[in-house]
Structure 1
Amino acid sequence: MAEKNEEKRFLLRLDQKLYDRLQSEADRQGRSVNAHIINILNNTSDPSTFEQRQVIGNVISGADLTGNGLVQVSGIYYRYLLDDNGDLDVHAQYAIIEATGNILTLKKI
């Protein structure tokens, strides 16, 4: 049998302006104020990693990629993989498209 999530109830004090703003946003989204607040909290408590926040999307010069499979980004050395498993082009630019642990996936742009 599936476990039911246990809910904790507590009193939350908000000034009227903030409550009115939350109520307006909740109405637009077809939610109760409570469901809207839960949605906001769930979306902002994302356990994203440093790499997901600060590294993905950066562009690296091919000249900065070492032949031994390492690249330095924000002062940290990472292993890297090329998304097409092709040969390294030192004259190209590469975008970081994924980070898994200490391994970055790069796409030639």
Structure 2
Amino acid sequence: MEKDDMTTFLFRLPTSLKEKLSKKAKQENKSVNATLQTIVNESLSLKGNSSEPLEQRLFLGKLVKPEQFDEIDGLVKVEGIYYRYLIESNQPFEPNLNYIIIEVLGNILTLRPLKQEGEK
């Protein structure tokens, strides 16, 4: 995929299909958006294209530990490089939780907190 500006558009689908998509995204530790991008890329035979961003190929599903965060500057260090980050559903950073990368967009990582054992 060439480096393109991102765009948005309205996409309608049945609720049951949206639920399946959300379940698949959660199982793969990705956002729904990242899962849809993968599905579209695969269906257009673009999977594995070397022009796909490195972060997209290597970071999705990667564990991020609390010590990798720089709370003062709002950055997270992954593979030796600092990235801006968002936490799913605009949750605040919790220094006692691990996170998983569910989406990569440019230099911004979207993270999902991992529940501690015993939490629902």
Q: Could you tell me whether the CA contact under 8 Å between 1:63 and 1:91 is conserved in 2?
A: no
**Equivalent-residue separation in structure 2 for 1:42 and 1:108 (angstroms):** 30
Which of structures 1 and 2 has the bigger CA Rg? 1
**Equivalent-residue separation in structure 1 for 2:46 and 2:86 (angstroms):** 32
Structure-1 residue corresponding to 2:85: 80
Q: Which aligned segments of 4 or more residues in structure 1 are displaced greater than 4 angstroms?
A: 41-44
Structure-2 residue corresponding to 1:106: 111
Unaligned runs of 5+ in 2: 1-42, 115-120
Structure-2 residue corresponding to 1:3: none
Q: 1:91 aligns with which of 89, 96, 99?
A: 96
Secondary structure, aligned partner of 1:54: helix
Q: 1:69 to 1:46 in 2, by over 3 A?
A: same
1:60-71 → structure 2 map (5 Å cutoff):
60-67=64-71, 68-71=73-76
Q: TM-score, normalised by structure 2?
A: 0.52
**Equivalent-residue separation in structure 2 for 1:42 and 1:69 (angstroms):** 33
**Equivalent-residue separation in structure 1 for 2:57 and 2:108 (angstroms):** 15
Structure-2 residue corresponding to 1:20: none
Structure-2 residue corresponding to 1:23: none
Q: Could you tell me whether the CA contact under 8 Å between 2:88 and 2:110 is conserved in 1?
A: yes
Q: Could you tell me whether the CA contact under 8 Å between 2:68 and 2:78 is conserved in 1?
A: no
CA positional deviation for 1:88: 0.8
Q: TM-score, normalised by structure 1?
A: 0.57
Percent identical pairs in the alignment equals: 37
* Aligned pairs, number: 71
CA positional deviation for 1:45: 3.3
The RMSD of aligned alpha carbons is: 2.3
Unaligned runs of 5+ in 1: 1-38
